[in-house]
Amino acid sequence: MKKFFSKENLGGKGFITAICVCILAVGGIGLYSYSKAADKLNEELINANKPNAVTEADNAEQANAEQQQVKKTEKNTEETTAPQTEAVQSETSETEAKKDAYTVYVRPVNGEVICEFSNGELVKSKTLNVWKTHDGVDIAAKTGEKVKSMTSGTVTQVYNDPMLGVTVEIDHEDGLIGFYSNLSEDVAVSEGQTVSAGTIIGSVGSTAEGEIEDEPHLHFALKKNGEWIDPIALISGEGS
């Protein structure tokens, strides 16, 4: 080394070469030191990020577990509610079926139907000579024949209708209203009275001015929830 830096070698090109060698040596040492520092810094950064990655994974796993728990809770609630709803519906249906089974319907009078329920269709009135709906049925019966309540209920009105004559109106419950018309004046019941199936409510008369040309009969009509229905279909079990 001393020989390399001797006076002879430091002159001219030798001096420049020596300077270059020194620069390269210093640069190599610096590059090596930088590389080591960079590797150490990178390692520290990796180690610093590892806990975050684990934390994110843990958070994702916890969120998934909570979501599964919510789904299980909702499913259990639905499974519990469904049987209860079905049980209530089943119980209601059974109650209605039992009620229908114990409901007794009787024919108010026992004659033939001489004018049927028109179900909203127009029919010609023999007495009025006009086309109109016939919202009940006319059942042939002798004048004075006893008229019975179709089923149990409460008498709500007794009045004289201008066209259908003396009428007894009975609330048979569950939205069913009965109208017994063309009765004689001697009605056997009064408003507010409770009746049973077969209770005598009056007798057949000739008070229906709008049907006076027809043979003696009872004009019998029914409404279910405000709509006219066929009384004979209900009595025979074919209607509701």
Q: Give yes or no: residues 148 and 72 share one domain.
A: no
Residue 210 pLDDT greater than 70, yes or no: yes
The SS3 assignment for 222 reads strand
Look at residues 189, 186, 171, 145 and name the one whose alpha carbon lies nearest to residue 225.
171
Q: Give yes or no: residues 176 and 94 share one domain.
A: no
Q: Give the separation between CA 127 and CA 94, rounded to whole angstroms.
A: 47
Name the range with the highest mean pLDDT among 66-75, 76-85, 145-154.
145-154
Query: Is residue 107 in some structural domain?
Result: no
Q: What is the pLDDT of residue 104?
A: 86
Query: Is residue 13 in some structural domain?
Result: yes
Count structural domains, the chain.
2
- First-to-last alpha carbon distance for the chain, in angstroms, is 125
In the predicted model, what is the mean pLDDT of the chain? Answer: 78
Q: Give yes or no: residues 228 and 128 share one domain.
A: yes
Q: Give yes or no: residues 92 and 131 share one domain.
A: no
Residue 131 pLDDT greater than 90, yes or no: yes
Report which of residues 10 and 146 the model is more confident about.
146
Residue 111 banded pLDDT, cuts 50, 70, 90: very high
Q: What is the pLDDT of residue 84?
A: 55
**Mean pLDDT across 62-79:** 64
Report which of residues 200 and 237 the model is more confident about.
200
The percent of residues in the chain predicted with pLDDT above 70, rounded, is 56
Q: What is the pLDDT of residue 130?
A: 94
Query: Is residue 108 in some structural domain?
Result: no
Query: Is residue 157 in some structural domain?
Result: yes
Q: Give the separation between CA 66 and CA 75, rounded to whole angstroms.
A: 14
Query: Is residue 142 in some structural domain?
Result: yes
**Mean pLDDT across 77-87:** 56
What is the tens place of the pLDDT at every residue in 182-194?
999 999 999 999 9
Q: What is the pLDDT of residue 54?
A: 44
Provide the CA 143 distance to its chain's centre, in angstroms: 51
This prediction's pTM: 0.60
Q: Give the separation between CA 102 and CA 91, rounded to whole angstroms.
A: 17
Q: Give the separation between CA 85 and CA 93, rounded to whole angstroms.
A: 12
203 touches 186 (CB < 8 A)? yes
**Mean pLDDT across 71-84:** 59
**Mean pLDDT across 196-223:** 96
What is the tens place of the pLDDT at every residue in 5-32?
444 444 555 556 656 555 655 555 555 5
Q: Give yes or no: residues 88 and 129 share one domain.
A: no
Residue 126 belongs to domain spanning: 113-235
